[in-house]
Structure 1
Amino acid sequence: MSKQHSSLTHEEKRVIEYYSNHIPTRPHEVTPETPLEHLNLNWTEKDLPERERTKHVHRLHPYLGKFIPQIVEIFLRKYFKEGETVYDPFCGSGTTLVEANVLGIHAIGCDIAAFNCLLTRVKTQEYDVDLMRKEVLDIVSKTEERVQPFLFDLHSWEDEFEDTDNEYLRMWYAPQARKELLIYRSMIPNYQYQDLLKVILSRSARSARLTTHFDLDFPKSPQTEPYYCYKHSRICYPTQEALKFLKRYSLDTIHRIQQYSRIRSKARSIVIWGDSRKAALPCFIGGVITSPPYVGLIDYHEQHRYAYELLGLPVKSEDELGAAFKGNSQSAKEIYKQGITEVFTHAGDYMKSGGRLVIIVHDRDDLYADIAAQCGFEVEDTVRRHVNRRTGRRSHEFFEEVFVWRKK
């Protein structure tokens, strides 16, 4: 056993060794008759390369804490039929809704974070591809035109575009980058696909912040001086401009939307901004596929702070379940467990008897053991999978569980 598995338990190492001798599951081969015990979700990089895990619109914008689309596809194929409705009460970046649409399955997503809902709507929207391409290229071209005359005199356009009251934007962006972002933002109302342009702006703003190249996920303070970059093994300099990112992500976005448009179906995708403990669903559902937040791990509003500041989105971080700022004390865990129970109980009210609730979660604190009974589900099975191919500061390996619960 290699050193990379040294932090795992003996049982976890045994599972890895067992599945290494079995062919990983190919999602498109799964049917309703596929036994759960035959599923091997322990893909290697060769089995499931990064380009497949982030195919088409799944990488329209970085998002921490999302599950891979292949897991969603497998359980959609196993438990849902074309024309049925799947619900994700923690829709996040929209993975469940995107995959459901490809298979002709209607989907409803709910999330407390306004940016998550914006991103999910953008991914699942049906576009006039020619118009989309025209608008994306036009706004970035007009941004460049308006930037050029002022590159050597940034103060001359401060009054027109500067967001003087926004301390975050002034702190985290160099003057040129900030002004390029604000020029782009000022023109968004002139176009039809405004939400898509907002996502391009947000993605560019994430990259244009005054932070080190190796700490885009969790920057603590602005980086204003040259620094040694562990990512590039050399001295790097803080980003001064945003236009290069606007150009790069505009082309990438066009490509990804075009890819998804070729495979999407006419199935409905509904996104609800609200608290999934009480949000009213527009119809009954066939079941649930979701990956809930973990206790004390991620602040889902804070990870996209730049988007909330630039776009003026409303913030409901206090209503996040398991937010990092709430900690992981025993009290925090109990509050989290109660919240998750309420979410699934509420979802169960819209489900028919026999419907499945599929939960992908790293239950490191064993909090889900008694939630099923409390919210009216019976535990049907649990599938464990090895997660070992993440990068950056969150690259440690672990096991996560796929709980399959059945509505009584």
Structure 2
Amino acid sequence: MNKTSDLRGVVSLMIPVADVTDQTALKKLNRLLTDDLDFHDQDSRYASHSFHAFPAKFPPQLPAKFIQSLTNPGETVLDPMMGSGTTVLEAFLLGREAIGFDIDPLALLLTKTKITPIHPHQVMALGREIVHRAKVSFHYRRDEIEHELSTCWDEETKEFINYWFAKDVQIALKAILNEIEKVDDEDIKDFFKLSFSAIIITKSGGVSLALDLAHTRPHRVGRAVDWNGNVVCDFRREHAHTKRVSSKKIRSPFEEFERRYTQNVRAFREIGFFTDQMNMFEYFDKPVSRLKPYVAIGNAQCIPVNSSSVDLIVTSPPYASNAIDYMRAHKFSLVWFGYTIAELTTHRRKYIGAEGTRDVLLHNLPPNTMDTIERLSLKDRKKGIVLHRYYSEMKNVLSEMFRVLKPGGTAVFVVGNSNIRGQDVSIPECLSEIGTSLGFLVPGIGIRRLDRNRRMMPTSTTINNESQIQQRMHEEYVIGFYKPLRIQEL
């Protein structure tokens, strides 16, 4: 049963009172929002930003712009839905105190690895040793590894593995992972685990039998050939109804893993990001004093941060109605790290924007937002509840952001719009209205034109008017929420 709550606590009973200082800050924020936010001609793969594929990443120049303009070195920048950690890394590189949370375990592994210095020579030598020992196991301990594969998952997870990974690939991946698990240093182990994940989740599907994992739209290929030229699967009969049967050549997991960790070490080398060179960030014109970031698993609806302690928030909330299903792709890696399909399915239901409608708490929302929900409910009652859940959860998020921000602080949202059942559900307008009802001042909404490939959105050469993705993939919106210095309690 769905429950409805008023959720009118102290925050929602506050009326902002903008003084001269606030007006100056609002004008500055509005100028930033009306600037060029596209960044199409700029390199977004510097530092460790290119470590791992992640859907719908915004370019690092975007958070960097707001961090540099709205905070000073040493101040606190938060991303409570950190995803690939772009904001956290940029805040760290710019000398701010960075804090990040996410509910997704792969997001935590990715962000933690991107901000943790390593010793390059040690990692390269250890990587070569991992690959060598894994190859020996692949050739001489196959039976033992196959037995491990038959016992390390429950039946549902094993069925998933067998469907998406050819047998030799399974043995190779397990051999590599066994060697990674022997690494004593947890930071270095995480570095190699992320490189392992990156050869699975890629635009081409990596070493699995899937395509489009990076776009969270995986589908199994019709035919696959391994690195030795052997046909490892042929599902053409299953795909007989399609005009074109997709195929791929699966590269050697050993070669791909070595290529990936080498590439990631090289990315760190470009900025001198090593344990013995912490002050040699050669990417920048002058040295910057850096504070160690704090990242952890956390829910943006209940941010584990003290009230009035954050100077700036830059984040990108999920799309409504689960339009980008992160777990659909991330489970391809997470099952190798010990998660079961059942555990990941349960975890997925906790994500903001998920489509579950049982036992969800639905809040009373501002009038235009409620009107948008009611119009969708007339077309599709269940979708209306899903949208109501999304806006209710986003009210929780905005309420928490208002709480943790210092007076005079700003939250910057990078959001995409959604079209559900042919209806524009007005994401930027509704979120702005909800934020205003909680006490925020919203000076404007910026527009960012998307470079579809670089934003890593699902793309297609054909137009599908029923596709949520295609209907809002051309641009996204940047909302500025300002917490005034003074508020009046009713």
Shorter-chain TM-score bucket reads 0.7 to 0.9
8 A contact 2:353–2:386 mirrored in 1: yes
Structure-2 residue corresponding to 1:354:
408
8 A contact 1:214–1:392 mirrored in 2: no
Question: What is the aligned counterpart of 1:292 among 313, 317, 342?
Answer: 317
| Residues in 1 aligned to 2:167 and 2:54: alpha-carbon distance in whole angstroms | 26
In the alignment, is residue 185 of structure 1 matched against residue 149 of structure 2?
A: no
Q: How does 1:301-340 map to 2 (within 5 A)?
A: 301-313=327-339, 315=344, 316-323=347-354, 329-340=383-394
Partner AA of 1:159 in structure 2: H
Structure-1 residue corresponding to 2:268:
257
Question: What is the aligned counterpart of 2:63 among 72, 84, 92?
Answer: 72
Q: Which has the higher contact order (CA 8 A, sep 6+)?
A: 2
Report the RMSD for the aligned CA atoms in angstroms: 2.9
Does the residue aligned with 1:104 lie in a helix, a strand or coil?
Answer: coil
Q: How does 1:210-229 map to 2 (within 5 A)?
A: 210-212=209-211, 217-221=216-220, 223=222, 224-225=233-234
| Residues in 1 aligned to 2:327 and 2:474: alpha-carbon distance in whole angstroms | 25
Q: What TM-score do the two structures reach when normalised by structure 2?
A: 0.68
**Residues 213 and 112 of structure 1: is their aligned pair in 2 closer, same or farther, counting only changes over 3 Å?**
closer
Partner AA of 2:199 in structure 1: S
Structure-1 residue corresponding to 2:146:
158
| Residues in 2 aligned to 1:404 and 1:381: alpha-carbon distance in whole angstroms | 7
Which 5+ residue runs of structure 2 have no aligned equivalent?
1-27, 223-232, 274-279, 282-287, 358-379, 419-424, 461-469, 485-490
8 A contact 2:216–2:325 mirrored in 1: no
Structure-2 residue corresponding to 1:248:
259
Q: Sequence identity of aligned pairs in percent?
A: 22
Partner AA of 1:378 in structure 2: L
Question: What is the aligned counterpart of 2:196 among 201, 208, 216?
Answer: 201
Does the residue aligned with 1:356 lie in a helix, a strand or coil?
Answer: strand
8 A contact 1:285–1:351 mirrored in 2: yes
| Residues in 1 aligned to 2:115 and 2:450: alpha-carbon distance in whole angstroms | 27
Question: What is the aligned counterpart of 2:96 among 94, 105, 109?
Answer: 105
Does the residue aligned with 2:210 lie in a helix, a strand or coil?
Answer: coil
Displacement of 1:244 in angstroms is 2.4
**Residues 294 and 237 of structure 1: is their aligned pair in 2 closer, same or farther, counting only changes over 3 Å?**
closer
Identify the range of structure 1 (217-226 vs 251-260) with the bigger mean alpha-carbon deviation: 217-226
Structure-1 residue corresponding to 2:3:
none
Displacement of 1:336 in angstroms is 0.6
8 A contact 1:362–1:401 mirrored in 2: yes
| Residues in 2 aligned to 1:34 and 1:401: alpha-carbon distance in whole angstroms | 13
Displacement of 1:266 in angstroms is 2.4
Structure-2 residue corresponding to 1:370:
433
In the alignment, is residue 41 of structure 1 matched against residue 37 of structure 2?
A: yes
8 A contact 2:216–2:328 mirrored in 1: no
| Residues in 2 aligned to 1:389 and 1:212: alpha-carbon distance in whole angstroms | 17
**Residues 101 and 258 of structure 1: is their aligned pair in 2 closer, same or farther, counting only changes over 3 Å?**
same
Partner AA of 2:181 in structure 1: P
| Residues in 2 aligned to 1:376 and 1:215: alpha-carbon distance in whole angstroms | 37
Does the residue aligned with 2:336 lie in a helix, a strand or coil?
Answer: helix
Q: What TM-score do the two structures reach when normalised by structure 1?
A: 0.80
Displacement of 1:88 in angstroms is 0.7
Identify the range of structure 1 (382-391 vs 398-407) with the bigger mean alpha-carbon deviation: 382-391
8 A contact 1:386–1:398 mirrored in 2: yes
Higher gyration radius (CA): 2
Structure-2 residue corresponding to 1:174:
166
8 A contact 2:215–2:458 mirrored in 1: no
Question: What is the aligned counterpart of 2:450 among 384, 387, 390?
Answer: 387
CA deviation digits over 1:300-338, x for unaligned, max 9? 222211122100246321110113677982221111111
Partner AA of 1:110 in structure 2: F
| Residues in 1 aligned to 2:130 and 2:36: alpha-carbon distance in whole angstroms | 46
Does the residue aligned with 2:118 lie in a helix, a strand or coil?
Answer: coil
Partner AA of 2:210 in structure 1: T
Which 5+ residue runs of structure 1 have no aligned equivalent?
1-31
| Residues in 1 aligned to 2:266 and 2:306: alpha-carbon distance in whole angstroms | 33
**Residues 384 and 101 of structure 1: is their aligned pair in 2 closer, same or farther, counting only changes over 3 Å?**
same
Q: State the aligned residue count.
A: 365
| Residues in 1 aligned to 2:390 and 2:246: alpha-carbon distance in whole angstroms | 43
| Residues in 1 aligned to 2:62 and 2:137: alpha-carbon distance in whole angstroms | 45
